Amino acid sequence: MDALLLYLHTTPLPLAIMLSICLNIGIAIVGVIPSVFLTAINVTVFGFWGGFYVSLIGEAIGSFVAFWLYRKGFRKFVNHKSKHTPRLQKLLHASPREAFLFVIGLRMMPFVPSGLVTLYASVGTMNFGSFVVASTIGKVPALLMEVSSTYAIVKWTSAAQFFVFALAIALLIFVWIKVKNR
């Protein structure tokens, strides 16, 4: 992360913005990597509002590309595998309005993995245009919360940052142990 931060600080602004957007697209396609780390870098390099806009553009384009790729690659597979799962079938065959509101709601929650939201929308009945609008509407408040919190943490002292990092690692270990013991 430090190497990327240093590289973006020394890169001409338009190139740094394009690199950040490309990284966001990659994160969206992979679907399981949290974008909060890139958001923190964007806030550090571009400032609060610059980091917000670069992150929003990158995450929006990334989710659009991922939606298209997931639809091409996973739609038939997921529909076939979910034939005997009524709850999943209900989600996959939600009305356009329900799917639209569902995507907005899930996007507003900053800790819901974006890849899962995109996968749900891409294998269901939602069309690309509705996904673009719902995803963007939902992402704005979530990203504002994410940028605000990362901006605050970036401005903290090194000791406070280490404390938050250690707390996050401890929480991940706790969750991992709980899941493993089930």
Give the span between the Cα atoms of 117 and 67, in whole angstroms: 9
pLDDT at 24 over 90: yes
* pLDDT the model gives residue 136: 92
* pLDDT the model gives residue 135: 92
Residues 6+ apart with CB under 8 A from 108: 138, 141, 142
Identify the domain containing residue 116 by its residue range: 2-180
pLDDT at 73 over 90: no
Burial class (CB in 10 A: 0-12, 13-18, 19+), 29: middle
* pLDDT the model gives residue 88: 63
Burial class (CB in 10 A: 0-12, 13-18, 19+), 53: middle
R_g (Cα) of the chain, nearest Å: 18
* pLDDT the model gives residue 25: 94
Q: How many domains does the chain have?
A: 1
User: Percent of the chain at pLDDT above 90?
Assistant: 26
> What pTM, to 2 d.p., does this model score?
0.74
* pLDDT the model gives residue 113: 80
- Nearest of 68, 59, 58 to residue 126 by alpha carbon: 68
| Cα→Cα distances 20→37, 56, 61, 83, 153, Å | 11, 11, 12, 39, 20
| Per-residue pLDDT tens over the stretch 87-96 | 666 667 778 8
DSSP structural state of residue 111: T
Q: State the pLDDT confidence band at 68, using cuts at 50, 70 and 90.
A: very high
| Concatenated DSSP letters of 73-97 | HHHHHHHHHTTT-HHHHHHHT--HH
Residues 79, 123 contacting (CB under 8 angstroms) = yes
| Per-residue pLDDT tens over the stretch 114-127 | 888 888 888 888 88
Give the span between the Cα atoms of 113 and 33, in whole angstroms: 8
User: Percent of the chain at pLDDT above 70?
Assistant: 85
* pLDDT the model gives residue 122: 87
Output the six-digit token pair for 29.
């396609």
